[in-house]
Amino acid sequence: MSNVIHLLTRRPIESPEEVLPRPDECLACFVHRMVGRQGCSAALRWVEQFRVHRTRRATALGRRLVARGATCDCSVTDVVWRPGPQLWEWSEAGQLVPPEQVPPCPGVRPGSTQPCRLWVAVADLAI
Choose which of 20, 61, 66, 72 interacts with Zn ion (CB under 5 A). 72
Which one, 1 or 125, has the nearer CB to Zn ion?
125
70 is a site residue for Zn ion (CB under 5 A): no
* Footprint of Zn ion on 18-57 (CB under 5 A): 26, 29, 40
3-state secondary structure of 127: coil
Choose which of 8, 13, 44, 74 interacts with Zn ion (CB under 5 A). 74
Alpha helices in the chain (DSSP H): 27-38, 45-54, 61-67, 73-75, 122-125
Which one, 80 or 105, has the nearer CB to Zn ion?
105
Query: Contact at 8 Å (CB) between 12 and 5?
Result: yes
For the bound state, the minimum distance from the C-beta of residue 86 to Zn ion, rounded and expressed in Å, comes to: 14
3-state secondary structure of 36: helix
Which one, 29 or 47, has the nearer CB to Zn ion?
29
Number of residues that bind Zn ion (CB under 5 A): 7
Q: For residues 110 and 57, what is the distance between their CA atoms, to the nearest angstrom?
A: 12
Angle at 26 between CA 24 and CA 29, to 5 degrees: 120
Which residues contribute to the site for Zn ion (CB under 5 A)? Answer: 26, 29, 40, 72, 74, 105, 116
